[in-house]
Structure 1
Amino acid sequence: MTEEQAKELLQKYLNQQASPEEQKKVEEWYATLDLKNVVSADQKAVIGEQMFVRLNAATYEKPKASKVLKLQYFGKIAAAVLLVVTLGLTVWKINNPTIAIQNQVTVITGSTEHKRITLSDGSTVMLGPSAKLSYPKVFAANSRQIALKEGEAFFDIAHQENRPFTVHTVSGIDIKVLGTSFKVKSYQASKQFEVAVVTGKVAVSNKERNLGTLVKDETLTYDKNADHAAIRKVKALAFVEFAFDGTTLDQVISKLQYAYSIKIVLNDSTLAKLKTTASFSSKQSPEEILDIICSLHHLRFNGSKNHKTFNIYR
């Protein structure tokens, strides 16, 4: 490939007109760079303009080395232009599974302070004393990521099927959920790390492996020195509220199924549109909540022996 062909290929990529094979080629150029810094969005246009000047200079200067070496140099320039103009932080975040520092908010609590934080998706975090949390002002379109850098925090996460929520911790452990409530205890000075689930389901992992999947009233304790994780059943000390205000029965069921890791079946599809206005707490059992809901709509229900599947009928 000549230098002119390489330049044309880069321009096609920037204009989003490149074929999959051409895109792969440009991204291979990008991979040759050893990235050590991330530029801000405000700097991209200026740096990109400067890089295009360098690109033109590299294209028209007299050859000082072999054709192969010069093409490699051009490839690095093209990759740099690609980084600051097109890919920006996106490719960097894919190759580095940490939270981008841009637009981050950091909250630190005092030694006796508790602080409630509401995130951009409606999720809430209750920070305990001497805790440190970093989070973006606005979450990305396809993921939600925050970092608990020290201390204890209780998370009540809004359920969004297409946008998983990840908590990165100072212990090098990640907690991934779709929407649930749980407590995390993570201190740099302690060898113990702990996650306790109040509602829903979470997956806990470190860089090497999955440490366990937890459901309601389960707690995972991880010994960082021994690299050992243990899961035990513990009745939650914290509770969350379920408030429904004219909510359809199928939406109520969806919330309960996720919160309790159960399955609820409506034997008559016409029941799905019934409206429910009521408040419940996670300290109540699924049977207790279903009994109240069915009473409101003059319905009945039954459950399986393992209390994991329920049927609602007239």
Structure 2
Amino acid sequence: MSTNELKRLAEKYFEGTASEQEKQQLHQWYDTTNDGWVEVVNTASPEDEEQVKQRIYKNLQKRIQLEKEMQPAQVRPISLRRILLPVASIAAILLAGIFIFRSADQQVIPIEKHVVKAPSNKVIQILLADGSKVWLNAGSIFKYPKTFNGKVREVELIEGRAFFDIKHMTNHPFLVKTHNLNVTVLGTSFDVRSYQREGKTKVSVVTGKVGITLLNEPKKPAIMLLAKEEIVLNTTTKHVAKAQTKEAVVNLWCKDVLVFEQEDLSNVFKAIEKKYNTKITVTDKDLLKERISITLGNQRLDTIMEILSFTKHFNYKMANDSTVVVK
């Protein structure tokens, strides 16, 4: 399908004037464009394929409208294919493709890089081209290639938390880049937590062995971690602490379990609000500063509030289905 035809069909679709045959052509274009790679949402109620397409089309509509607003009079329209960012995720994932335009034959050559942003209230699972699996915590941002062509399988955790289950390939090490350290493995499972707002980066190993190199000390030998070991890098002082890890809780968050280690109640309440789509109002602001270590499963909201109130000695009231008042 030519780019002009694709743009015409997309505009008719959004205007509500597309025939069933034209809608089918647009669906076929979507299936052809996004064939060959899969992202899976690790949630109890994933979106179906039709919902994914509808979301992609809405994103396409915004881009077409933006293109119209930015386009000066009597200027040849830019090809729709050049401004599209292929999207194929089953959550509200932001996926950016990077393109090079080859004018000689009017073809678009994709550079196989994707940037994925997990929704603010869901954990998602990504299947990489080598068979490795990555779980992204809610709100995390991750960059990876569609295929691994070089000697090193390189990905980047731009922000957030991810659990990696990496397929072993002796001659092709797997490299995870963060904003202050790199993690190199051959094949293992490990957790990386790298929120810039927290001022620290943590790497915890579940199986196998990993090597850690610090970006501010590139000439130093790698710090080696074995199973049940972890390091925490303070991004301000650059101090690195190595310790034993609690293997049982490293990747519980991948299973939709809330795990908190000496976390402020303020952040605990925020996580609960997102998971249960509720609003927690706290009258005693000093309570928000108290810290707690706790693992919360898939209990009912009132059960979780009962556990927290007993642990931290506060009272609460379930005002309605969407509001909890803490005193």
TM-score range normalised by the length of the shorter chain: 0.3 to 0.5
TM-score scaled by length of structure 1? 0.44
TM-score for both structures, normalised by structure 2: 0.42
